[in-house]
Amino acid sequence: MNKDELYQYYTRLDKAFYKTMKTIGPKVYEKLEHNLTGEQFFVLNTIDQLGKITSSHLAEELQVKPSAITAMIDRLSKNDFVIRERDEQDRRVVYLGISDSGKLALKTSKEKRNTIMEKYVSQMTDQEIEQLTTLLEKLTTIIVDSEK
C-alpha cells in the first residue's frame, strides 16, 4: 500500500475514532454510578482485576505518572472505594485494594456501561465483534510496545 492510500485510511480512522468517542464516551462514562469519572472507573477496574497492587505498579499498568495515580487514589479513598494496606514485611510498601463500596460502585457502573454498549455492539455479528476487538488489541499492543 502506498503512502497516499495509507493516509486515506488514517483519515478514515481519525474520523471513526473521533465520532465513536464523541458519541459513546459521554453516554458511557458520564453516566457512571456513584459519581465515578471514566478515569476512576478504569482505576477501580484495574485494581479489581489485578487484586492488591502498589501505586507504582498501577501507574505502570495504566501508563500514567505516579503523581496522577496518587491524586486519583486519594479521591477514591476519600469516597471509601479504595483501601490502603501496609505490607507486614516491609512497612514502606503500601498496597491498594478495592473496598466493598468500591466493588459495588464498579459493579453498578459496569452494568450501566454494558447496557449502553449493548445497544451499539449488538448490531454487529459475533465475527465482527471478534475482529474489531482483536484488531484494536493488536493496535494497542503495537503502540505500547513502540513506546517502550
Question: Mind listing the pLDDT tens digit for each residue in 73-112?
Answer: 999 999 999 999 988 888 888 999 999 999 999 999 999 8
pTM: 0.79
CA distance 65 to 140: 19
Indicate the length of the chain as a whole number. 148
In this structure, how many other beta carbons lie within 10 angstroms of the beta carbon of residue 51? 10
CA distance 144 to 122: 29
CA distance 94 to 4: 52
Residue 142 lies in a domain: no
Residue 135 lies in a domain: no
137 falls in which pLDDT band (50, 70, 90)?
A: very high
Looking at per-residue pLDDT, the higher value among 66 and 32 belongs to 66
The domain total for the chain is 1
Q: What is the CATH number of the domain that holds 104?
A: 1.10.10.10
Residue 19 lies in a domain: no
Residue 141 lies in a domain: no
CA distance 61 to 50: 10
